[in-house]
Amino acid sequence: MRRARRAQIHYRDLPRPDYFCDTVEMFHLVLAPEQVRPIAALYVQDMGAAEWDSPVGHWIDAKQAWYVVGSRRLGSMGPTIASFAREDDARRFAEEHGGTVHPFAAITADMAVLDGGALHDQHM
């Protein structure tokens, strides 16, 4: 079974993109202070059009997308950042699954945590 791809980074100095199974991974890397490799483009899937459990296609410019942070829906690594081409799709998703809606520029490093919530789980 092939792992879902939800985000991709195209670097200026590499011929092939890096694919990520979760948007959180992409943001974690892009927003890291040590990220210095020149990025040519970022793409995420429009979850307003793609199937949540097995997304295929529907790639959109990540910098033009809308994101839902803190929803109850999980990605491949636990809590995720859902991506949408249209703000109204993001708002409908947030109404149904919780979370807050943000444009690309408002996503911060503290929203793109890769611990899956484990560091905040008091029951571990």
Q: How far apart are CA 17 and CA 71, in angstroms?
A: 28
pLDDT over 50 (residue 90):
yes
Which tens digit of pLDDT belongs to each residue from 52-82?
988 888 999 999 999 999 999 988 878 899 9
Side-chain half-sphere of 119: how many Cα atoms within 13 Å?
5
pTM of the predicted model as reported, rounded to 2 decimal places: 0.86
Higher local confidence (pLDDT), 85 or 114: 85
**pLDDT classification of 12: cutoffs 50, 70, 90:** very high
How many CB atoms neighbour CB 93 within 10 A?
21
